[in-house]
Structure 1
Amino acid sequence: MSKEDVTLDVDSDKMVKEPLTLKDGESPSKVQFVNADGKNGEVNIITPPSPKKAGLSKEELMKYANDPFWVRLRLALFVLFWIVWISMLVGAIVIIIVAPKCPPSSKLKWYQKTSAYEIDVKSFVNGLLSKFDYFSDLDIETIVLRSFLGERFTEINPKIGTFDEFDKFIEKATQKNKKVILSFDFRYTSTSHEWFNKSVNLDSDYIDYYLWKNASTNGKQKNWIRNEARNNSDSYYYVPDIGGIANQDFAVLNITNPRVKNEIREVIKFWKSKKVNGFIIENADELIPSELFEDAQNKNIEFLQSLRKYIYTKVDVTGKTGFFIDVANDSATNTYVGAPTDKISDLVISDFFRKANKTTNGKGVKEIIKNYYDSFSHWPKDSTKYGPWTGCRLSRSDKSLKSQVGEDHLSIFLMLFYMLPNCTHILTAGDEFEIDNIPNWSANETNWSTNVSQAILLKELTKMRRSNIDSLLMGETKYPIDNDDQANSDLFSIARVYPGFKGLLLIANFGEEKSIKLENANYLSGEGEVIIVSEKEKPMPKLGKVDLKAELKIGRKQAVMIQYGPIE
């Protein structure tokens, strides 16, 4: 019997477990074990052979190290490595230099790049909730809601809608990528407001919520209204001018009262919880009546700055909520824009462009625009490229654009509006229609359509604005035509130029057909393209290529938008 055929009968329970150790001189392939009966057994264990040493010895390596062939190869690879490395470095530098830079508009906030549409709300269900396709068709990005509040600042007028409908509106706006801004006038409340009733009853917490006095001896006499119910005393409360008339159904709040300031903060906090994107404080320069307070302006500014700080430290620490102010007097815009390092708000809304009327010509338009922007003298000249940033409103709900500038100039002013520098364009509902009165925002009363000529022009302008946002919002402003020449007084031109981007040139003719030549405008490239015309039936010049160095004919009461190649 061979060794492989031997079978050992081992009782594992009686086995004595010992370390498998070798005795001196025994082979590592041989292991001995002992059972409980003292019988020894042997088993052979096959172990793998020891591996052979790999690689070259030092002597062999030195032989190759000194070999001329390997010396030359190593040197060639060393040189090649540095050539490749330097080439990659040079390539990276070239890419950084020649690659398109981040567009300048990337530095702007959302409210600076947006195109806003302001609405006096009449209904949520019959009006706003059904108009999102309309907003999208006009390329409107932001919706400003006005005149929708109820008795309190945290209520919705029940005739307009409910909070459920408002929430649905906000939800739909978010789905459609629209921003929503709410506009408030915190100057006064109605005399039926609970605050006023408590003030009349001399509630200690509300006694100074409004402006009271015991005798009508100062301020506008017509604005002081007697209220005998106030503790049977000879008390007068101050009322606001609404539509030029002292309205005794309303009472002016005392914004200097810390409790009133806190009430306003709570209002902002409440509506922010409804996921709105920004707030407009209306008549911000008249929150505290200047006829009653000598330092009214400073008090106004102090309150506005504190409210802005509250929003960004307590309500929205991300800084994405817009805080805007709307001044009642255009002359106050210069003051309320603040300074580059001392802002009062994120945006000041001005109606300066409403100074234009039916008789304004090209020279008059240039004066209105230049006077407005030149008024910001306290801003460094190099910083006006990025600010001060203002909101520019073309019209208001109390007066349509057509009734303001006339039917002949309607399209011209709309095109001019979209060329204004450093401003957020705010349209009033109805600017896109050739109407005399702003329509009611109830779908049952007015048929809104984007197929009328003015609305079609507006769509072209909003599309143009989006595709040329860097030149329009950040570009330098030029005036190619000299209006001092009486022959050119009916003409107006404005060019927006930003290095590396296509420029835009607008030429408007407020008079009869004229021929012009832009000889001294070296910032204009030789060839341009007419992309928008105010006159659709008989445009002059027509859409298409145009030589900017040649004589151009501009038709009667027409305006043309020309895009030209980038100037480095």
Structure 2
Amino acid sequence: MDGNKLELTGKPTPDVPTSYKAIPEADMEEEAVTRPKSLVKSKPATPEVDGADEKMLPKEEEVKVSPNEKQNGDAKLDIGELKTAFVGLTKEELMKYANDPFWVRLRWFLFITFWILWGLMLLGAILIILAAPKCNPPPPRTWWEKGPIAEVDQDSDNSDSIVQKLKDLSVTGVIVSWPDDAYIDFDETHDFIKSLKKYKDEDINVIMEVEAGYSHVWFNKSEYKDPEFSNYYIWQPPKDMSNGEGPHPPNNWVSMNNNSSWKFSDKRNEYYYAPTGQPHLNFRNPNVTDRFSDIINKFLRYGVGGIRLRGASNLLVDEKFTDEVNVQNPGDCVLNDYCFYIHSHTENLNDLGPLLKKWRDVVKNKTDNGPFMISEDLNANIEAYKLNSSYIVDLPLQSHFVFKPNINVANMLHIVNTTFTANNFTWPLWKANSSSEWDIVTYLLPGTPLITPSSLANKDLLKIRDSPSIMRGSFNMYSINEDTVFAFSRVMAGNPGILVAFNPSENRTVVNFPAYVQEIPHDGEVTVLLFTKSYNETDISVNVKYDAKSIPISSKSAIVLSYVPKTE
């Protein structure tokens, strides 16, 4: 090798000094411009070759190096023809298999299998839904639960004008009193039965109030000891008097008019029980019980939709005829006064339940779940009206809400709490008052309002009453602003809450409702739905929203609000 040339291997000749001839810059620039892109620069050769470069190439590929002296050690690499990866069949190739019997059958098999599996999944989903435990909706309220119900006085005018008045009040039922002895022989030609037609023509259900306890129909036969009727009434011999005085009653039972509950029969020489002045029937005799079942059936056949008993509390008396015990603190009551005794042997006896249950079953079986009611308040020995811990009378009457000047929030809380908590009534009958303030309370509490034809019609109040929150909603009551305001809320999921507030005090007050009613958001609003005539706040209007933290309530007034309950 000449002394001015460099070996390609990079090793100098041992005896000749290593040197190279510099390439002019102009030649280098020209070469850089004209150099083909396919040429790859190679690194200067290393003193020792370890074979790593060769291992990086496939064995079957031959790499050719083409030196180029003008490029100062650059070399051209020729690695031959590269192999490409498989990228699938072309359309023309695929079409060769389109009509192949094997692939046609496979496609149909997969298509049918897909839809069979899809149908099975759909069927399975339906079966799961059908087999899942049902969450049954609550049954709809009956006509006597929806109300209101009107009580028509026996002496009131039964003309068409009264019926129209009841229609204006949107009553669903009317209570009328049977004017005669319930056990007389009557049919559809009886004038009172014919008078019921005007109610039925206007789709107003009739609840017949009947006195079951007394009758004169069989008294003469019983007085003469007819074997069939001898035990139809309650008879007792006189008390034994050895001093020669006249006959004395068998015990100290006293009627409500402060007279003895016993009357003497000269024909039978015995006393008969007559707490109302009329001979009382013996309902421990099954034949007498069946007689009244027949009477109920007869009324129901003539179109009556329900039965209300009058005098139910004293239907049964103590079989041993034990003397009554006087009260501990009689006050102004004196001996032989009705208020002087407890009446535990003549009223609300514990075995009253099975008797009433028998008659209730008759009503329920012969009507579309018509009501079986009693006319008295259930405020004493309510256990007598239960059977197996369940009440056997519908719509227990609550007449405590009577508007008085001295009514206060504490009284109202006690009445409502006793009704729903202590007595565990779920849907009582609230006797309404002519005052519009009390109408708002009694119409929107859980229960049915009992009104009269002279009540004032309020379409807005009836519309609120018909809402799901009132018909089915939960109930909570509140004492607000230091027992100044009585309030209660009615809420049903998915519906606006209803809030009723009544201020019985003499002073105006402003209420922060979110501070008392947890369902109302702290920054929430309430919409005014209705207020009474005595509500004289000029800045408050119906159907307008206001801040729930500052709602004024005038003295002796009530207001109805709606709100959006909190979501948990």
Please state which band the TM-score falls in when normalised by the shorter chain: 0.5 to 0.7
Deviation at 1:558, TM superposition (A): 0.9
For the residue of structure 2 that corresponds to 1:140, the secondary structure is coil
Cross-structure match for 1:477:
475
Q: Is the 8 A contact 1:202 1:230 kept in 2?
A: no
CA separation of 1:228/1:138 partners in 2, compared to 1, >3 Å: closer, same or farther? Answer: closer
CA separation of 1:228/1:281 partners in 2, compared to 1, >3 Å: closer, same or farther? Answer: closer
- For residues 267 and 91 of structure 1, what CA distance do their matches in structure 2 show? 51
Deviation at 1:187, TM superposition (A): 2.1
- For residues 205 and 351 of structure 2, what CA distance do their matches in structure 1 show? 31
Deviation at 1:472, TM superposition (A): 1.5
Cross-structure match for 1:117:
150
For the residue of structure 1 that corresponds to 2:381, the secondary structure is helix
Deviation at 1:103, TM superposition (A): 5.9
For the residue of structure 2 that corresponds to 1:529, the secondary structure is strand
Q: Does residue 167 of structure 2 align to residue 149 of structure 1?
A: no
Q: Is the 8 A contact 2:485 2:501 kept in 1?
A: yes
CA separation of 1:562/1:63 partners in 2, compared to 1, >3 Å: closer, same or farther? Answer: closer
Alignment partner of 1:167 out of 182, 194, 197: 194
CA separation of 1:184/1:528 partners in 2, compared to 1, >3 Å: closer, same or farther? Answer: same
TM-score by length of 2: 0.65
Q: Does residue 260 of structure 2 align to residue 208 of structure 1?
A: no
Cross-structure match for 1:367:
414
Q: How does 1:454-493 map to 2 (within 5 A)?
A: 455-457=456-458, 459-466=459-466, 468=467, 470-479=468-477, 481-483=478-480, 487-493=481-487
Cross-structure match for 1:344:
392
Deviation at 1:492, TM superposition (A): 0.7
Which of the two has greater helix per residue?
1
Q: Does residue 565 of structure 2 align to residue 516 of structure 1?
A: no
Q: How does 1:260-339 map to 2 (within 5 A)?
A: 260-289=288-317, 292=321, 294=345, 297-312=349-364, 316=366, 320-333=369-382, 335-339=384-388
- For residues 377 and 321 of structure 2, what CA distance do their matches in structure 1 show? 17
Q: Is the 8 A contact 2:296 2:362 kept in 1?
A: no
Q: Is the 8 A contact 2:209 2:309 kept in 1?
A: yes
Alignment partner of 1:530 out of 528, 531, 548: 528
Q: Does residue 290 of structure 2 align to residue 223 of structure 1?
A: no
- For residues 522 and 267 of structure 1, what CA distance do their matches in structure 2 show? 52
Q: Is the 8 A contact 1:502 1:567 kept in 2?
A: no
Instruction: Kindly tell me the number of residue pairs found equivalent between the two proteins.
Output: 426
Q: Which has the higher contact order (CA 8 A, sep 6+)?
A: 1
For the residue of structure 2 that corresponds to 1:207, the secondary structure is coil
- For residues 207 and 378 of structure 2, what CA distance do their matches in structure 1 show? 22
- For residues 416 and 271 of structure 1, what CA distance do their matches in structure 2 show? 34
Q: Is the 8 A contact 2:149 2:451 kept in 1?
A: yes
Question: Could you list the runs of 5+ residues in structure 2 that have no partner in the other structure?
Answer: 1-96, 239-248, 323-344
Deviation at 1:143, TM superposition (A): 1.0
Alignment partner of 1:412 out of 437, 440, 454: 437
- For residues 316 and 513 of structure 2, what CA distance do their matches in structure 1 show? 50
Q: Is the 8 A contact 1:351 1:394 kept in 2?
A: yes
Q: How does 1:16-95 map to 2 (within 5 A)?
A: 64=99, 66=101, 75=110
CA separation of 1:476/1:390 partners in 2, compared to 1, >3 Å: closer, same or farther? Answer: closer
Deviation at 1:68, TM superposition (A): 5.2
TM-score by length of 1: 0.65
Cross-structure match for 1:15:
none
Q: Is the 8 A contact 2:534 2:554 kept in 1?
A: no
- For residues 267 and 358 of structure 2, what CA distance do their matches in structure 1 show? 32
Task: Kindly provide the amino acid, as one letter, of the partner of residue 400 in structure 2.
Answer: F
For the residue of structure 1 that corresponds to 2:373, the secondary structure is strand
- For residues 114 and 123 of structure 2, what CA distance do their matches in structure 1 show? 14
Question: How large is the Cα RMSD of the aligned pairs?
Answer: 3.8
Q: Is the 8 A contact 1:225 1:238 kept in 2?
A: yes
- For residues 271 and 104 of structure 2, what CA distance do their matches in structure 1 show? 109
Cross-structure match for 1:391:
428
- For residues 526 and 125 of structure 2, what CA distance do their matches in structure 1 show? 37
Question: Could you list the runs of 5+ residues in structure 1 that have no partner in the other structure?
Answer: 1-61, 242-247, 378-387, 396-400, 403-409, 433-454
- For residues 309 and 537 of structure 1, what CA distance do their matches in structure 2 show? 47
- For residues 152 and 282 of structure 1, what CA distance do their matches in structure 2 show? 11
- The worse-fitting range, judged by mean Cα deviation, of 179-188 and 283-292 is 283-292
- For residues 558 and 417 of structure 1, what CA distance do their matches in structure 2 show? 14
CA separation of 1:529/1:334 partners in 2, compared to 1, >3 Å: closer, same or farther? Answer: farther
- For residues 153 and 502 of structure 1, what CA distance do their matches in structure 2 show? 51
CA separation of 1:254/1:548 partners in 2, compared to 1, >3 Å: closer, same or farther? Answer: farther
- For residues 100 and 155 of structure 2, what CA distance do their matches in structure 1 show? 92
Identity %: 19
Deviation at 1:267, TM superposition (A): 0.8
For the residue of structure 2 that corresponds to 1:478, the secondary structure is strand
Q: Is the 8 A contact 1:167 1:274 kept in 2?
A: no
CA separation of 1:358/1:263 partners in 2, compared to 1, >3 Å: closer, same or farther? Answer: farther
Q: Does residue 303 of structure 2 align to residue 252 of structure 1?
A: no
Alignment partner of 1:134 out of 152, 165, 174: 165
Task: Kindly provide the amino acid, as one letter, of the partner of residue 173 in structure 1.
Answer: Y
CA separation of 1:260/1:84 partners in 2, compared to 1, >3 Å: closer, same or farther? Answer: closer
Deviation at 1:460, TM superposition (A): 2.9
